[in-house]
Amino acid sequence: TFRCVTCTAPVNIAVIKYWGKRDEKLILPTNSSLSVTLGQDELRAKTSVAVSKDYTQDRMWLNGKEQSVNTPRIQNVLKETRKRLSDSQNETELLQNVHIVSENNFPTAAGLASSAAGYACLVYSLSQLYGVKGEISDIARLLLSCRQGSGSACRSIYGGFVAWNMGELEDGSDSYAVQVAPEAHWPEMRTLILVVNDQKKDVGSTEGMQTTIETSDLMKHRVTIMDRRMEAMTEAIKKRDFPTFGKLTMQDSNQLHAVCLDTYPPIFYMTDVSRQVIRLVHAINDIYEEVKVAYTFDAGPNACLYLLEEDVPRVLSLVQHFFPPSQDKGEKFVTGLSVPEVPVCSKDVSKISLQQNPGAIKYIIHTKVGPGPQVLTDP
Ligand code: DP6
């Protein structure tokens, strides 16, 4: 026997950030978080999983290269998923070895939450393979398996706007993601990802957040305000109130990076380019006299901008004016959803002063809010 399923899963970028674990083994967070699921035409993981009685061991290939399955996180995900699905069907297949082939349609380690999409995709594909039918009745159990691969992965199981409630129980069974609103709720929402650097990052988020928990006093303050922040963000999304959504997004990103600076030794994820992007965004909002665009940064220098569809052409023209594409490559500078090109407004430009030579943005990915994982082939 041989069976194979292929699924895709999206990237999610948090607007209220997860940073810190109260239990490292079970991957339980010190605060709740909230993210936006992005469009899969632009950013997704794709995973095929196959079972056969002829496979002599579990094996895995990532972007064409064989990787060890003997990492604690992969083992956890395989073990937990099999355990949680064990009542769903077919005992013999659950005992067979699995081959996993996974690839991203964007550079790995770009600081673009590739591991979240990857783990979510693996768990989702396994759930389809082992025959969890139709609407996954106990999706919470799958979310728990995702979370054991990488905390933020549990938010990639849903489309739209997704909260990961931290939960209170020691065994982590109440720490999982819920959809706050589907993608159709706010269809005008757009994202521009300004890729500054697609090299592997310095300090991984797992290690970074652990050091923060051990050493940062500011972090103690952060955890006390997060419930309120989650409530305010949820309300802003429900009301489609962009200025509030944007301001909270920027404040939360800034506090995450302040907490990183308060970590000892300090952790720097943003670069000069990141800080210039922050200045540019605030200057644009000053011109509009309203928050029209918001930035957020994860554990890396890339900026993720949130804004509404109608503002994309003007904002993009300004970003490209201040961060012109380098001439030497034939590659497209802006990829993803197409945008009507508008000439940059010289009046806007004259009101913005940035430092000279801030450094380059490599390319820009334009996408929108998207759905959760998809099955490409039936079992
Ligand atoms: C800054 O989910 O990568 O992107 O649970 O240790 O795998 P582990 O960490 P991970 O952390 C993501 C941190 C973040 C913020 C966020 O996505 O909420």
Mean residue pLDDT of the chain comes to 90
pLDDT at 264 over 50: yes
- The ligand 1 site (C-beta within 6 Å) comprises 14, 17-19, 27, 33, 115-116, 150-152, 205-206, 298-299
pLDDT band of residue 113 (cuts 50, 70, 90) is: low
pLDDT band of residue 137 (cuts 50, 70, 90) is: very low
Residue 291: both structure tokens together: 């928050």
pTM: 0.94
Q: What's the confidence (pLDDT) of residue 95?
A: 79
Check: complex ipTM more than 0.90: yes
Torsion of CA 252, 361, 368, 270, to 10 degrees: -20
pLDDT at 87 over 70: no
Q: What's the confidence (pLDDT) of residue 348?
A: 92
pLDDT band of residue 88 (cuts 50, 70, 90) is: low
Residue with more model confidence, 92 or 160: 160
pLDDT at 92 over 90: no
Asked, as a colleague might, if the bond just before 265 is cis with ω within 30 of 0, I would say yes
Q: Which residues, listed in sequence order, are joined to residue 304 by a DSSP beta bridge?
A: 193, 296
Query: In this structure, how many other beta carbons lie within 10 angstroms of the beta carbon of residue 351?
Result: 12
Q: How much is the average pLDDT of 65-87?
A: 86
Residue 59: both structure tokens together: 């094996």
User: Strands, DSSP E only, in the chain?
Assistant: 2-10, 12-16, 21-23, 28-29, 33-37, 44-52, 59-62, 65-67, 97-104, 161-164, 177-181, 189-195, 293-296, 303-308, 334-336, 363-368, 374-375
Ligand 1 binding pocket mutation candidate from 205, 210, 233, 252 (most atoms within 8 A of CB):
205
Ligand 1 center–CA 157 separation, angstroms: 15
Query: Of ligand 1's atoms, which has the minimum distance to the CA of residue 12?
Result: 17
Residue with more model confidence, 161 or 138: 161
Q: What's the confidence (pLDDT) of residue 134?
A: 47
pLDDT band of residue 109 (cuts 50, 70, 90) is: very low
